[in-house]
Amino acid sequence: MRRHKVIICALLFFFNLNHWAAVAKSNIVSPEQFRAALLCKAEPIDARDANIANQLKKQKIAVKDYEKNGLINLKYRFAKPLYISNVKVSAIRYQGDSGSYFYAIAKGDMAKFAESIGAKSVPRTSKETLSWGDINQYFKYTNPVTTSHPYPNIILIGRDKTSKQGEFYFGCLRFDY
């Protein structure tokens, strides 16, 4: 049995899934889970679950549910900001219906952040055909696009017309298919 634990730990380290190991051990929502979920390495935190909502409240993370009819439309506000690759995150949104987008509203240098995670500029053809428009400037597929998996999770990075100076968003777009 111990040998299996060693192999599992090695695989978790190798595939950079150590965030999952920390979650499995403690079963408590942590800042690392938010970081991992934003970068498509863990499932989004769903505060519609009462246990999770209570944990977040104890950590002084305010949650606002904008949709009481089953759709996902949550906003998380952090009393103490998270820092991810030298950008400051004070709020996270989680929206979904068919698929979901778990994204941060960040402050910092968007281009440096995109480079730090290996994201690339969105090509003009993708902006047109995928309706990514002018607001998404960078993207990174988390797995290759294949015929059996045509819509892998994507990290999208950008800003919109309402973004303040030095502010942008980034997060994990997941598809249901």
| Structural domain containing residue 160 | 29-174
Compute how many other C-beta atoms are within 10 angstroms of the C-beta atom of residue 77: 13
52 lies in a domain? yes
Q: Which amino acid makes up residue 36?
A: A
Least confident of 107-116, 127-136, 160-169: 127-136
**pLDDT of amino acid 85:** 87
Cα–Cα distance, 51 to 49 (Å, whole number): 6
61 lies in a domain? yes
- Write the pLDDT tens digit of every residue in 128-163: 655 555 567 899 999 998 999 888 999 999 988 888
- The answer to whether the beta carbons of residues 152 and 145 sit under 8 Å apart is yes
106 lies in a domain? yes
- Write the pLDDT tens digit of every residue in 2-42: 443 333 333 333 333 343 343 444 467 888 999 999 999 99
154 lies in a domain? yes
The number of domains in the chain is: 1
Q: HSE (CB half, 13 Å, CA atoms) of 39?
A: 18
- The answer to whether the beta carbons of residues 17 and 65 sit under 8 Å apart is no
The model's pTM is 0.79
Query: CB neighbours of 117 closer than 8 A, spacing ≥ 6?
Result: 39, 85, 140, 155
**pLDDT of amino acid 68:** 80
Is the pLDDT reported for residue 119 higher than 60? yes
Question: Pick from 99, 96, 97, 87: which is nearest to 159 by CA?
Answer: 87
69 lies in a domain? yes
- Write the pLDDT tens digit of every residue in 36-79: 999 999 999 999 999 999 999 999 999 999 998 778 999 999 99
Cα torsion angle, 105, 107, 110, 113, sign = negative
86 lies in a domain? yes
2 lies in a domain? no
Cα–Cα distance, 15 to 12 (Å, whole number): 5
10 lies in a domain? no
Compute how many other C-beta atoms are within 10 angstroms of the C-beta atom of residue 60: 10
Average pLDDT, the chain: 82
